[in-house]
Amino acid sequence: MNNNVNRAPEAKNKKTVWIIIVVLVAALGALAYLYLDQRSEMTELVEQMTIEKEELEEEYEDLAIQFDGYQQMDIRNDSLQDLLSREQQRVQDLLEELRQTKASNARKIAELKKELATVRAVMMDYVRQIDSLNATNARLTEENIMVKEENQLVKQQNTQLTNANAQLTETVERASMLEISSCSLTMLNKNDKKTRMVSHLHKLQFDFVIAKNITCTPGIKHLYARVIAPDGSMIGEHDDKLFAFENLYIPYTLTQQFEYTGEAYSGTCYCPMDEDEEVLSGFYSIDFFCDGNLIGSFPFQLKK
């Protein structure tokens, strides 16, 4: 009887031990499953990030090729050419930085992806500028063809002496046209102090140089300027501010009177910004006119 009583607790203890062992085995199995599942997910994530990095590298390489293509074009604008060169170098630097970044560095890859979108947007602005220049060149080429055809008709109708005189007159007129050789931009705040922040911009200062031209008739000249915003609108446009150009009257942003003696002339003009309107970021241009001629056109960029 005593033996049976002693064996009952012992059997109960063994059963408890087995239950604990089964529970531990099940827990270990669950932990092993979770570890393997998590490891599989991490492997898939690393593979996905590696693919994303490779795709981003291809996008940067394609963008670099596009910049190379635009650099090969005949862009007759030194300022735009310099901007293209700087952005092209920026793409190369970002591409090299991406290549040295590990695929597991998700934060850095996300930053470089954002930089790619920014550079691509800048390039689209450059494309617009280049297209605008190409369109202008095409228009001038077409106008030159028309002029040549008209001159040819005149040659057929007039004598050789009349033709020679006409050509000489045209040459003299072109030679006597003024030309702005350089133009630089300075941003000013409300206190007329230099600033680099568009948010503080109150006035644009343009310092320009009109080249020496001894064939131009000296005297008092009227200089007109048109400042064109990225959206194509003209800054400071008013119905009562018009000047004559190519048999039309067109609006101007600002005007200035100066005395020209035939020697190089350095001048400064100012373009106030409308305080009630937000300053757009992007590419602007300023066109100068004098004596009924376009004597200089310069692009510039405002960044926020």
Mean pLDDT by 10 residues, the chain (304 residues): 59 76 75 63 67 78 76 67 77 79 78 80 74 71 77 70 46 71 94 92 95 92 95 89 92 95 95 86 95 94 87
Q: Quick one: pLDDT at residue 227?
A: 96
Contact 289, 245 (CB under 8 A): yes
Q: Quick one: pLDDT at residue 46?
A: 67
Element (H, E) at 93: helix 78-99
DSSP 8-state symbol, 192: S
Gap between the Cα atoms of 299 and 284, Å rounded: 6
Tokens of 45: 């994530």
Gap between the Cα atoms of 125 and 23, Å rounded: 67
At which residue do the structure tokens 């241009």 appear? 285
- Coil, strand or helix at 43: helix
Element (H, E) at 268: strand 265-272
Gap between the Cα atoms of 20 and 48, Å rounded: 42
* C-alpha distances in Å from residue 121, one per residue of 78, 116, 255, 257, 259: 21, 9, 34, 40, 43
Ranges of H-type helices in 100-158: 106-157
Gap between the Cα atoms of 301 and 199, Å rounded: 14
233 C-beta neighbours (distance < 10 Å), count: 11
184-214 residue pLDDT tens:
999 999 999 999 999 899 999 999 999 999 8
Tokens of 275: 């305080």
Of 131, 293, 140, the closest CA to residue 210 belongs to 293
DSSP 8-state symbol, 159: -
Contact 115, 94 (CB under 8 A): yes
- Interior CA angle at 97 toward 95 and 99, to 5°? 70
Tokens of 108: 């850095």
For residue 292, what are the contacts with CB-CB under 8 A and spacing of at least 6? 244, 245, 246
Element (H, E) at 295: strand 293-302
Q: Quick one: pLDDT at residue 147?
A: 74
pTM beyond 0.95: the answer is no
Gap between the Cα atoms of 37 and 31, Å rounded: 10
Gap between the Cα atoms of 120 and 126, Å rounded: 10
Angle between helices 2-71 and 78-99 (to 10 degrees): 160
DSSP 8-state symbol, 193: -
Tokens of 157: 């109708």
